[in-house]
Amino acid sequence: MSKHALILCCALAAVAGCASKMENPTDFYTYRNQPLVKQVDEGMSETQVRNIGGPPSSSIRRKVNAGLCNNYILNQDGHQQAYHISFDGSGRVEEKGFMTCEQREQVELEKARKTSSSY
């Protein structure tokens, strides 16, 4: 194996090991300059988020954690990508990422089941 291939494999393994979200890194790279991705930070209010991204495509009440989750559709070069922003019970950004609110809820439910079954 060449040195370049070995270095690339090690770098990819290191990055994959540090990832805390199950998301496609290509999505972040492609949509990184979208206002919702670039400007929305944890702790922002829903009003601040709406000022940046406008009204969401849809919203749901979160089941696992108190709060609200907004679905957005990002558009880039003719491609669309789901993006969610979750708010905690006090209306502050808690989570965001390249999946729908429904997919995020499913991930949270699975985490809760694993946590409760390990006790």
pLDDT in tens, 51-93: 999 999 999 999 888 899 999 999 999 999 999 999 999 999 9
What's the pLDDT band for 3 if we cut at 50, 70, 90? low
Grouping H, G, I as helix, E, B as strand and the rest as coil, residue 84 is strand
C-alpha span between 71 and 93 (Å, rounded): 13
DSSP state of 92: B
Maximal C-alpha separation, the chain: 53
Q: Are 65 and 71 spatial neighbours (Cβ–Cβ below 8 Å)?
A: no
Domains of the chain and any CATH numbers: 23-117 (3.30.1450.10)
